[in-house]
């Protein structure tokens, strides 16, 4: 029915059929159909935007970065899951998460690949992106982020290759764990420094931004592994086992605590004694136009799931809390990006020119993503899910019988 289906079933589904369980048949076809539709919508929107210019987005000269950059930050963050479950567990000497380690790495690879892909539609001239490779300007954090993300992608793919060997080469796994840990810290830090090193944006220009990005990445990365494991468990015959959920819940509690602490100390310091510029941009979140999103992030996206994790220990509730945490971290990316953009440093009337014919000057610019941006985002989600699907089919399921399932 589709190219992907053809590729997937043609390229060596040998021996899979017996183990596929609920994945074969109608549900599978519907899923592949959805993915292809999403990819077509995304690609179509991207091509349309490329030919018309970024004028078809909701962006302006005040809000120069929007949904694509929110998605980029979020995707880089959720890539942390693979590292926690593979490198973290390896270095901590636990075999508790062995059964989901391939799934976790698949999620990481998908997230990093999609994050890199999200940058292309954000460019005004995607056809010039190669210039970044041939004449990189080394003082630009964007160049470093590109380098470190590429390295991280390679590490993820190598990790996956190692984990699908039988027997798993223990020594290689350990070497990879040691190599990947600093790279992962750099991935989240350099992504934070894209924003955090700018004097023009006091809200971003805090030394706490990199630690905050790391803690949010740990939260959303772990939550993604839990949520994906639950989905794969439901849709296929993959068995995760209660021990994995309970173990990840404990980790998640620590990460949520660290994330909440860093957020609190950042907000409290700025609220009590921050520089006026910084304080004004924080006020956009506390009482200003983004207050609904910020307080939703703190209550529904942080405190509520934290309570659920503290007081419950069942699979259903752990998964629920993870989904809420993912939504909370996504809201956090929105808040971080727009708090600084909604309130430019030189805010005198009449403001910054909108940039399109007839568009007024706006000192208080608003931003809503356009249908084209939502279309591209749909494509990004489909791209992510496609990589996860292929990964699950070829790297996760074929080896699952060889892993011990702890319950």
Nearest to 255 by CA among 384, 116, 87, 77: 77
| Whole-angstrom distance, CA of residue 96 vs CA of residue 101 | 10
Nearer of residues 44 and 136 to other proteins, judged by Cβ: 136
| Whole-angstrom distance, CA of residue 321 vs CA of residue 311 | 11
Nearer of residues 197 and 257 to other proteins, judged by Cβ: 197
Mapping DSSP to helix (H, G, I), strand (E, B) and coil, where does residue 353 land? strand
Residue 336 binding other proteins, by CB under 8 A: no
Per-residue interface string for the shown chain with other proteins, residues 43-72, x marking contact by CB under 8 A: ---------xxxxxx-xxxx-xx-------
Residue 146 binding other proteins, by CB under 8 A: yes
Q: Find the shortest distance in angstroms from Cβ 167 to other proteins.
A: 43
Write out the binding residues for other proteins, residues 188-227 only, by CB under 8 A.
194-195, 197-201
Decide if 359 contacts 353 (C-beta within 8 A). Answer: yes
| Whole-angstrom distance, CA of residue 338 vs CA of residue 43 | 26
Neighbours of 88 (CB within 10 A): 22
Binds other proteins by CB under 8 A, chosen from 352, 374, 405, 406: 352
Write out the binding residues for other proteins, residues 113-132 only, by CB under 8 A.
119, 122-126, 128-129, 131-132
Report H helices in 127-205: 131-134, 141-163, 170-196
* φ, ψ for residue 352, nearest 5 deg: -95, 135
| Whole-angstrom distance, CA of residue 304 vs CA of residue 285 | 19
Candidate segments 109-117, 177-185, 352-360, 386-394, binder of other proteins by CB under 8 A: 352-360
Residue 305 binding other proteins, by CB under 8 A: no
Candidate segments 266-274, 286-294, 315-323, 340-348, binder of other proteins by CB under 8 A: 340-348
Residue 142 binding other proteins, by CB under 8 A: yes
Q: Find the shortest distance in angstroms from Cβ 152 to other proteins.
A: 18
Please spell the DSSP secondary structure of 308-330, one letter per residue.
HHHH--SHHHHHHHHHHHHHHHH
Nearest to 99 by CA among 243, 259, 289: 243
Binds other proteins by CB under 8 A, chosen from 254, 264, 361, 371: 361
Residues of this chain that interact with other proteins (CB under 8 A) are 52-57, 59-62, 64-65, 119, 122-126, 128-129, 131-132, 135-137, 139-143, 146, 194-195, 197-201, 341, 344-346, 348-350, 352-359, 361
């Amino acid at each position: 029915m589709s190219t992907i289906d053809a590729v997937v079933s043609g390229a060596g589904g040998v021996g899979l059929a017996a183990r596929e369980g609920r994945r074969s048949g109608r549900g599978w076809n519907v899923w592949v159909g959805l993915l292809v539709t999403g990819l077509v919508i995304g690609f179509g929107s991207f091509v349309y935007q490329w030919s018309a210019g970024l004028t078809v987005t909701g962006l302006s000269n005040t809000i120069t970065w929007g949904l694509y950059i929110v998605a980029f930050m979020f995707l880089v963050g959720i890539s942390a899951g693979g590292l926690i479950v593979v490198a973290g567990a390896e270095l901590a000497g636990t075999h508790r998460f062995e059964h989901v380690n391939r799934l976790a790495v698949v999620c990481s690879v998908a997230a990093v690949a999609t994050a890199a892909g999200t940058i292309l539609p954000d460019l005004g001239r995607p056809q010039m992106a190669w210039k970044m490779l041939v004449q990189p300007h080394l003082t630009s954090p964007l160049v470093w982020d590109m380098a470190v993300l590429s390295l991280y992608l390679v590490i993820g793919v190598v990790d996956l290759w190692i984990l699908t060997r039988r027997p798993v080469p223990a020594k290689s796994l350990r070497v990879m764990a040691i190599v990947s840990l600093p790279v992962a810290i750099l991935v989240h830090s350099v992504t934070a420094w894209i924003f955090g090193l700018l004097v023009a944006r006091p809200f971003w220009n805090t030394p706490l931004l990199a630690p905050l990005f790391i803690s949010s990445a740990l939260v959303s990365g772990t939550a993604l592994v839990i949520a994906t494991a639950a989905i794969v468990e439901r849709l296929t015959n993959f068995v995760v086992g209660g021990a994995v959920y309970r173990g990840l819940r404990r980790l998640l509690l620590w990460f949520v605590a660290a994330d909440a602490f860093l957020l609190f100390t950042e907000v409290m310091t700025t609220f009590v004694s921050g520089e006026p510029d910084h304080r004004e941009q924080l006020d956009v979140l506390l009482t200003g136009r983004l207050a609904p999103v910020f307080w939703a992030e703190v209550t529904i996206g942080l405190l509520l799931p934290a309570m659920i994790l503290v007081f419950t220990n069942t699979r259903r509730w752990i998964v629920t809390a993870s989904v809420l945490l993912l939504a909370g971290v996504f809201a956090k990316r929105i808040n971080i990006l727009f708090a600084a953009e909604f309130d430019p440093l030189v805010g005198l009337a009449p403001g910054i020119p909108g940039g399109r014919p007839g568009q007024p000057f706006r000192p208080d610019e608003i931003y809503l993503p356009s249908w084209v941006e939502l279309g591209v985002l749909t494509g990004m989600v489909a791209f992510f899910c496609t990589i996860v699907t292929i990964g699950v089919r070829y790297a996760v399921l074929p080896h699952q019988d060889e892993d011990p399932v702890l319950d």
